[in-house]
Amino acid sequence: MRILLLVSAFNGLSQRVWTSLCASGHDVGIALADMGEDAIVETVEDVSPDLIVCPFLKHRVPEKVWTGWPTIIVHPGPVGDRGPSSLDHAITEGEALWGVTALQAVEEMDAGPIWATRTFPLPRGVAKSAVYNGPVADAALECVAEVVAKAADPTFRPLPQEDAPRPVPHARTRPLLKRDERMFDWSWDAGSIAVRVAAADSAPGVRTELRGMVVHAYDAHVGELLERPARPGTVVGRYEEAVAVATGDGRALWLGRLKHPRAEGGDGVKQSALRVLGDLDVPELDAPESLREVRYRRIGPVGVLTVRAHNGAMGTAHCRRVLRALDHALEQDTSVLVFKGTDEFFSNGIDLNRVEAAEDPAQEAWDNINAINDVCSALVSDTGQLTIAAYTASAGAGGAMLGLAADVALAREGVVLNPFYDIGLFGSELHTYTLPRRVGVTLAGQLLDDKQPVDAATALRLGLVDGVGPRDPAAFDEWLMDQAALYASPEHWRQTYDAKLRFLQGSRPPAYYAARELAEMAQDIFDDRSGFAAARESFVRKTPRKAAHAA
């Protein structure tokens, strides 16, 4: 079937839909809705698709399009829910059950007849972006598969909304959630504040005041009862680059990320809380596990290092902490080390926000690329253990390459890898060593040049990864540990280890590749050879990318 995806951005969900439809053998095109109504109509007329699917659309569909072609909108709400802030309202109000509905586009927004719908339990206090990329995306994929099957059935008629059962009976039309309705007061209990932050995370963030500075708050985690009570709203501690704030119930509310808006005299870049608040004379406190950047545990012959990089962004200091933990893990007498991300993030390479906000962005980018390379080198060069990278979540650019540095790469179903650089950088992370090692020189070149997302199943077929485990996070963890135990078994271990040694001995040392990559990167970073500064600025500030560097 010829399918056109009409999207406001080729975001994570759109990438998943695109890769899964392509994998099912459909001819799938993408049109970005910000090109304007006339251009959309022209594109649709040119492509003449059998079906238009809009997995992520903030723009209106031109009337000429929805009257001429079956156009299906994926709405992140159950039947009966309408409006632009569905998930924000659902999280704020603590809905237990939520859904996704595929509706036919009609004149009135979200009012068309239903093609498919799914529901899922809505976890409490989880960031909107995690809900969106997790249960919403999973449900959306199922809906899209159903829509495509129904589109091929000439007898199918979509169900008018008034005739459809409503699994969430109070679902209704709700307006945009306004800034004032998102606010909280530090005298509230930590759990309620965390919910408010979650409902606006990653955008637009909740406005609050810390140490007299107006900030937007993100990445909230409920902490323990504070030993020393403090006035609600006081910053009472730190851990790594996060800060703890006293709340009304005596608990700490941890915040990992803040933004000091430009309108308030700040730089408008979302960064670690500590960077935004500046030097703080507060004690180091124990942070909740959910916030920690690195966790290590061992189970018999298997060590597991879990790395949490918010948004997948691995800044210089973060990489150094990861390297310390990795060195420690590699020194242990385990035979297999699993290097994994969290359900939400694996890695998206260097921290572009941190670079953008730095006084000397080029120096910061250089330090960052060297720091992430050190992590990759440690994985590539270690000869004491077998290393397994687990893509627990999607990964892009240097973050996708980072996983390839391990001896074995495994992925959770549904993750999407973007194994290329599209930000005005040649790229490093030893990818010129690890990518051809996995897929050969020709395919490596194609992946870097084509710049197309790759789903887990395709990654397996191409040899980018060695195995794909279940989508459900708990089931994946179990599967991962079984795989690790298998690789730790003498026969498997020896075979994989020997292959790794043969490759290491048969090629130039990884440092050779790193040096060559860094020579390219020096020109990109310090001479801005390929438009890194402009591409980074538009990525961080979410402004259109300037045409000169759009290639």
Nearer to ligand COA, 179 or 328 (CB): 179
The count of residues in the chain is 551
Least spacing, CB of residue 129 vs ligand COA, in Å: 6
Least spacing, CB of residue 218 vs ligand COA, in Å: 7
Least spacing, CB of residue 541 vs ligand COA, in Å: 10
- What type of residue is 318? H
CA nearest to 451, candidates 8, 133, 10 = 10
């290491």: which residue's tokens?
504
| Interface residues toward ligand COA, by CB under 6 A | 11-12, 129, 202-203, 270, 311-313, 348-353, 394, 396-398, 418, 421, 423, 425
C-alpha separations of 394 from 112, 172, 416, 481, 487 in Å: 32, 33, 5, 20, 24
DSSP at 203: T
Nearer to ligand COA, 110 or 344 (CB): 344
Nearer to ligand COA, 148 or 417 (CB): 417
DSSP secondary structure of 526-549: HS-TT-HHHHHHHHHHT-PPPGGG
Least spacing, CB of residue 345 vs ligand COA, in Å: 8
Rounded Cα gap, residues 191 and 254, in angstroms: 11
Nearer to ligand COA, 266 or 396 (CB): 396
CA nearest to 315, candidates 357, 273, 352 = 352
Nearer to ligand COA, 197 or 226 (CB): 197
Nearer to ligand COA, 251 or 318 (CB): 318
Least spacing, CB of residue 391 vs ligand COA, in Å: 12
Alpha helix (H) residue ranges in 174-278: 179-182, 190-199, 273-277
C-alpha separations of 55 from 81, 140, 290, 436 in Å: 16, 7, 30, 33
Task: Map 392-453 to HEC letters.
Answer: CCCEECHHHHHHHCCCEEEEECCCEEECCCCCCCCCCCCHHHHHHHHHCHHHHHHHHHHCCC
Distance of CA 282 to the CA centre of its chain: 31
Least spacing, CB of residue 519 vs ligand COA, in Å: 17
Residue nearest ligand COA (C-beta atom): 396
Least spacing, CB of residue 206 vs ligand COA, in Å: 13
Nearer to ligand COA, 105 or 425 (CB): 425
